[in-house]
Amino acid sequence: MWKTFLAFVVKEFRHILRDKRTLIIMLGMPIALMLIFGYAVRTDFQEAGFAVWDQARDQHSQMLVERMTASGYFLQKATVQQKEEMEQLFRQGEIKVALVIPPSFGEMLEKGVPTQLQLISDGTEPNTATTLLYYLNSILLTYQRDLSEKRFGPLPPPNISIEQTMVYNPELKSTFMFVPGVITVVLMLISAMLTSLSIAKEKEKRTIELLLISPLPPLLIIVGKVLPYILLSLLNGLIIIGMGIAIFDMPMHGSWLFLILSLVLFIMTALSLGIFISTKVNSQQTALFASLLGLMLPTVLLSGYIFPIESMPAPLQTISNITPAKWFIIIIKGIMLKGIGLKLLIKPVTILAVMTFAFLAISWKNFKIHL
C-alpha cells in the first residue's frame, strides 16, 4: 500500500521537477510577491516633489523648508509666487503637495501666537496626500519642540496648525483612484490575456495550420483575431467610465474625443502584448501563466493604481516605468480629473505608442518565423 502510494508521489514530483516553467512559477511567484509587497507596498515616501509659496521669507520659514528637505520625505521642486504657478505645477504632475507659509510666520511663532500653514495636495492620489500630511505634521511637531527647548521665559509654546486643501478631488474620494485602475485592469485582462489565450488555443489545437494553409494573408489572420477584442474592450472601457461618472460622481473635465482615442491606444498596447505573448507560447496554459505574471501582476501592483510609485525602490520603479498601465493611468486621470490635453500628456501618450509599435514589430517577426 505505502509502496504504491510512494511510487505515485514520486511520479508527481517528477512531473513537477521536469516542467521547468511551472517550477519557476511555483518557486518564483512567492519570492516575487514578497519582494513586491515588501518594497512596493510601503506607504512611506521618499522625495515627494513639493513647491513652497513662502510669503514670510524669514528665518523660521526657511528653517522649516530645510527640515522638510532634510527629512528625505520631500524634495523641493520649485518656489512659487502666485496661485497660477502652483496650479501649473500640479497639472504637469511635477509636485504632489504645495506648502503655503503665511506672512509674518516667524514673528507670530516667536510671540507664541497660533499660526496656520496651508498644505495643498493633489487629490487624485488620496493615499499620497494623507501620508504626506502626516509627515509634515510630525516635522512640525519636532520643530516646535526644538523651539521650546531653546526658549526660556513665560512665553506660551509655539503653536502651528496645518490646513489641508485638495486640488482636483476636494473630498478625497477613492473612486477617482479606482475607476482608472479598474479600467486598466479590465482592459489588460480582456485585450491582452484573452487575445493571447485565443491565439494560443489555435496553436495548441493546431487549427492555426488550417488558417495558414488557406489563402488568407497572415496579417489578416491576426487582425481578424483581435478585432472582436478591440470592440469588446472599447465597449467595456466606456461602460466603466460611464458607471464611474453616473454612479460614483467621477468628474469628466477633459475632451471625450481625447479620452476615447487614449482608450483605443491603450487597447492596442494591450493587444500587442497579447499577440507578443502568443507568439512565444504554444499552449493556453502557458499563455495564461505568462499573462498573469507578466501583465496582471505589474498592472495591479506596480502601476501606481494601489501603491504609490514614488515609494518603490529604484528597480521596481524601473519595472513600473515599462508597465503600460502606469502611463495609461496618468493619461486617464489627467483627462478626467485635471482636464488637461495632449500638450501636457504627450510623454505618456508617446511612450504607449512606442511600446505598441515595438511589440507589434517583434511579434510580426516571430509570427513569420514560427508559423
Partner 1 sequence: MFTNSIETRELTKKFGSFTAVNRISFEVKQSEVFGFLGANGAGKTTAMRMLTGLLLPSSGQARVAGFDVYTQPEQIKRSIGYMSQKFSLYQDLTPTENIQFFGGIYGLSYKEIRRQSKELIGKLGMEKIAKKRVGDLPLGWKQRLAFSLALLHKPKIVFLDEPTSGVDPLTRRAFWEYIHQEASEGTTIFITTHYMDEAEYCHRLSIMVAGRIEALGKPSELRKEFQTENMDQLFLKLSQKDLVRQNAARTN
Give the residues lining the site for partner 1 (CB under 8 A): 205-207, 209-216
Closest to partner 1 by CB, 170 or 217: 217
Residue 209 beta carbon to partner 1: minimum distance, rounded to whole angstroms:
7
Q: Quick one: CA torsion of 66, 69, 75, 78, rounded to 10 degrees?
A: 0
Closest to partner 1 by CB, 23 or 210: 210
Residue 298, all three cell numbers: 505589474
Closest to partner 1 by CB, 287 or 340: 287
Residue 342 beta carbon to partner 1: minimum distance, rounded to whole angstroms:
40
Closest to partner 1 by CB, 196 or 323: 196
Encoded amino acid at 210, one letter: L
Residue 317 beta carbon to partner 1: minimum distance, rounded to whole angstroms:
43
| C-alpha count within 13 angstroms, C-beta hemisphere, residue 298 | 20
Residue 254, all three cell numbers: 477633459
Closest to partner 1 by CB, 165 or 214: 214
Residue 210 beta carbon to partner 1: minimum distance, rounded to whole angstroms:
7
Residue 268 in contact with residue 356, Cβ under 8 Å? yes
Residue 279 beta carbon to partner 1: minimum distance, rounded to whole angstroms:
17
Dihedral sign (CA 78, 82, 83, 84)? negative
DSSP of 183-243: HHHHHIIIIIIIHHHHHHHHHHTTTHHHHHHSS--HHHHHHHHHHHHHHHHHHHHHHHHHH
Residue 7, all three cell numbers: 511510487
Residue 289 beta carbon to partner 1: minimum distance, rounded to whole angstroms:
22
Closest to partner 1 by CB, 153 or 215: 215
Long-range contact set of residues 147-155: C-beta below 8 Å, sequence gap at least 24: 147/109, 155/111, 155/112
Strand bridging mode 115-122 / 74-79: unpaired
Closest to partner 1 by CB, 12 or 209: 209
Residue 206 beta carbon to partner 1: minimum distance, rounded to whole angstroms:
4
CA angle, residues 203, 204, 209, in degrees to nearest 5: 40
